[in-house]
């Protein structure tokens, strides 16, 4: 009688299963790996036990699991149920990641789930820009300013008495920082700690060669990190305009502005793009007298109509907007900034520079490797996040891609898949963008100017919000929705909006754009009445009728 072939038992902890059929699907995938004698996947305990020939690598089993859309890691001992962090599998692809923001952590999680051994290097605060000094604190600060504004004045003051709010910035700052610390711990520190295949190093990393990072650790020592693939996700920092007299003055960037425990009586803002308009309005609503100096117009990269609406809103709120104005000198004297501008000067207690961001790529040793960068220093990547050096990838604000946290996270995830054998592409053709002013400004797809520059024949319509029932009942008709469509087919090419909830509206437009819908499709779709998103339907209807002559909820 023949002896049974030798075998070993491998227990895997499985992630991502949502139903018993997932277990069946996974069991078939594992059984198909050459050398696997049997496989059993238990959905209730998220575990797989695989009997294999001795020569079968654990990494082959993990690859089979990740190949069908789940995650896997080796358990501590055969027969043990998952119980917290477990040791990583032996061997496996070595992935190094520089940075710990949205792109870096998304990539680390994805790469570890696909069987790689990941070393993540962070030289500063864990979590990167968004959670620490960007999205989270700024949107909390903006919301606090919105509340102060509504208590001071609203369209319903005749029936609801307004009041003058007392602003305790120190307490608001404490609330803000508590949330930042909570999210940093929950979404970065704890998440990384829960993955045994991820090692976090604290220190500054640079490339010793095309397969080695040199890391100056926080304790003063140095360490080499060898890798098979590397992701650069070092983010960006606020740009500092080359303004004569600025050096040595206590000017603010967005980082210092959001960390300040005071609301200055007078604030000068240099800039007219996203960060400038968001913070200018928020500080004004919390009590600062704000003067903005914009080199061009507000939101000059967007359709001109959007910046025009916003400029009118700011003027109505008492914000002094100086368009096409550049300061040629600044001095700081007696606690006061004095900005020289054509024909006069601007005086302020604080000066905020909001003139863009600079990629953090200047201390990585990229020149010696031949990693291509653009004129700003941003790393150039293709749609698979590859740089000009085959084994090195990049994602997030250090690249030439749009600087949004959701783009960074999506890029990080796709880079990780590609570093571990995948073929994932980043498609930005329907990328929504939102500016968190009040009203919000949002866009997706092509503007009219972009479409015409690309040689497209277009048809456009603009719906002002005095045609939107939701805006009418809110007594807030500030804003518009513009649709850009292909002239011949009516296919949607882009949408731009200024509205109280434009950020919510724009995602519907993004889905319509991705689905290849026409303006007729949008006009005929059912939209809930008395919602802001109904503006999309009404704007689409303007391509074939005068919506001012419709009943209030005409289909």
Reading the chain (555 residues) residue by residue, the pLDDT tens digits are: 444 557 788 888 887 676 677 788 889 999 999 999 999 998 766 789 999 987 888 888 888 888 787 888 776 433 333 333 333 334 589 999 999 999 999 999 999 999 999 999 999 999 999 999 999 999 999 999 999 999 999 999 999 999 999 999 999 999 999 999 999 999 999 999 999 999 999 999 999 999 999 999 988 999 999 999 999 999 999 999 899 999 999 999 999 999 999 999 999 999 999 999 999 999 999 999 999 999 999 999 999 999 999 999 999 999 999 999 999 999 999 999 999 999 999 999 999 999 999 999 999 999 999 999 999 999 999 999 999 999 999 999 999 999 999 999 999 999 999 999 999 999 999 999 999 999 999 999 999 999 999 999 999 999 999 999 999 999 999 999 999 999 999 999 999 999 999 999 999 999 999 999 999 999 999 999 999 999 999 999 999 999 988 887 767
* 149 and 122 in a common domain: yes
CA distance 73 to 416: 17
Residue among 130, 230, 419, 517 flagged as catalytic: 130
The domain boundary residue, chosen from 386, 408, 428: 428
- Please indicate, yes or no, if residue 19 is contained in any of the structural domains: yes
Q: Under DSSP, is residue 76 helix (H, G, I), strand (E, B) or coil?
A: coil
* 375 and 226 in a common domain: yes
- Please indicate, yes or no, if residue 108 is contained in any of the structural domains: yes
DSSP string across 352-381:
EE-S-EEES-TTS-HHHHT--B-TTSPBP-
* 112 and 219 in a common domain: yes
In this prediction the pTM is 0.84
Residue among 1, 230, 529, 552 flagged as catalytic: 552
The domain boundary residue, chosen from 428, 452, 467: 428
Q: What is the CA radius of gyration of the chain?
A: 27
- Please indicate, yes or no, if residue 244 is contained in any of the structural domains: no
* 179 and 133 in a common domain: yes
* 291 and 259 in a common domain: yes
Q: Is 398 a catalytic residue?
A: no
* 362 and 314 in a common domain: no
* 317 and 169 in a common domain: no
| CATH number for 218 | 3.50.50.60
- Please indicate, yes or no, if residue 315 is contained in any of the structural domains: yes
Q: Is 230 a catalytic residue?
A: no
- Please indicate, yes or no, if residue 87 is contained in any of the structural domains: no
Residue among 43, 135, 332, 406 flagged as catalytic: 135
Neighbours of 330 (CB within 10 A): 23
Owning domain of residue 186: 92-239+356-428
CA distance 377 to 464: 40
The domain boundary residue, chosen from 382, 410, 428: 428
Q: Is 17 a catalytic residue?
A: yes
Q: Is 163 a catalytic residue?
A: no
Burial class from Cβ neighbours inside 10 Å (0-12, 13-18, 19+) for residue 171 reads exposed
Residue among 22, 230, 292, 431 flagged as catalytic: 22
- Please indicate, yes or no, if residue 128 is contained in any of the structural domains: yes
Whether residue 292 is preceded by a cis peptide bond, meaning omega within 30 degrees of 0, is no
- Please indicate, yes or no, if residue 555 is contained in any of the structural domains: no
| CATH number for 62 | 3.30.70.100
* 222 and 107 in a common domain: yes
pLDDT number for residue 54: 77
Say if strands 336-341 and 344-348 run parallel, antiparallel, or are unpaired: antiparallel
Alpha-carbon distances of 202 from 99, 208, 218, 476, 496, rounded to whole Å: 10, 17, 6, 50, 42
- Please indicate, yes or no, if residue 135 is contained in any of the structural domains: yes
Give the residue ranges of DSSP H helices in 215-357.
254-259, 274-285, 304-316
User: Considering its fold, how many domains does the chain have in total?
Assistant: 4
């Amino acid at each position: 009688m023949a002896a049974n072939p030798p075998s070993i038992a491998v227990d895997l902890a499985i992630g991502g299963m949502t139903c018993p059929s997932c277990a069946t699907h996974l069991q078939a995938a594992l059984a198909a790996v050459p050398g696997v004698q049997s496989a059993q996947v238990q959905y209730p305990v998220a575990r797989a036990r695989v009997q294999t020939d001795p020569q079968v690598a654990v990494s082959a089993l993990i690859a089979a699991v990740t190949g069908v859309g789940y995650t896997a890691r080796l358990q501590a001992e055969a027969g043990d149920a998952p119980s917290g962090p477990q040791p990583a599998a032996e061997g496996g692809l070595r992935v190094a990641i520089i940075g710990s923001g949205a792109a870096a952590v998304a990539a680390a999680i994805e790469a570890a789930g696909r069987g790689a051994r990941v070393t993540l290097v962070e030289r500063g605060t864990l979590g990167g820009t968004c959670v620490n000094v960007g999205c989270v604190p700024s949107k909390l600060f903006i919301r606090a300013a919105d509340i102060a504004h509504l208590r001071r004045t609203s369209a319903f003051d005749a029936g609801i008495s307004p009041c003058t709010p007392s602003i305790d910035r120190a307490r608001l700052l404490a609330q803000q920082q508590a949330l930042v610390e909570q999210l940093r711990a929950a979404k970065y520190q704890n998440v990384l700690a829960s993955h045994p295949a991820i090692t976090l190093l604290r220190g500054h990393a640079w490339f010793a060669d095309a397969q080695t990072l040199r890391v100056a650790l926080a304790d003063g020592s140095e360490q080499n990190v060898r890798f098979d693939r590397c992701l650069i996700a070092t983010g960006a920092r606020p740009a500092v305009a080359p303004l004569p007299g600025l050096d040595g003055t206590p000017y603010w960037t967005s980082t210092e502005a959001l960390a300040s425990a005071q609301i200055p009586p007078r604030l000068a803002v240099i800039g007219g793009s996203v960060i400038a308009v968001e913070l200018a309005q928020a500080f004004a609503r919390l009590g600062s007298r704000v003067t903005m100096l914009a080199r061009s117009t507000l939101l000059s990269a967007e359709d001109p109509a959007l910046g025009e609406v916003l400029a009118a809103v700011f003027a109505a709120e008492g914000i002094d907007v100086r368009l096409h104005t550049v300061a040629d000198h600044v001095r700081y004297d007696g606690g006061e900034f004095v900005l020289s501008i054509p024909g006069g000067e601007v005086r302020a207690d604080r000066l905020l520079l909001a003139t863009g961001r600079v990629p953090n790529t200047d201390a990585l040793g990229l020149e010696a490797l031949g990693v291509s960068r653009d004129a700003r220093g941003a790393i150039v990547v293709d749609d698979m996040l590859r740089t000009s050096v085959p084994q090195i990838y990049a994602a997030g604000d250090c690249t030439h891609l749009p600087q949004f946290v959701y783009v960074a996270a999506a890029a990080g995830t796709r880079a990780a898949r590609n570093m571990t054998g995948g073929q994932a592409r980043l498609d930005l053709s329907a990328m929504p963008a939102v500016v968190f002013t009040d009203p919000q400004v949002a866009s997706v797809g092509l503007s009219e100017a972009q479409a015409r520059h690309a040689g497209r024949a277009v048809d456009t319509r603009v719906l002002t919000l005095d045609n939107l029932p939701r805006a009418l009942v809110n007594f807030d008709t500030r804003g518009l929705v513009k649709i850009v469509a292909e002239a011949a087919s009516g296919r949607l090419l882009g949408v731009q909006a200024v509205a109280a909830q434009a950020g919510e509206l724009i995602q519907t437009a993004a889905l319509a754009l991705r689905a290849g819908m026409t303006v007729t499709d949008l006009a005929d779709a059912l939209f809930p009445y008395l919602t802001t998103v109904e503006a999309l339907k009404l704007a689409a209807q303007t391509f074939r009728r005068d919506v001012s002559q419709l009943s209030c909820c005409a289909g």
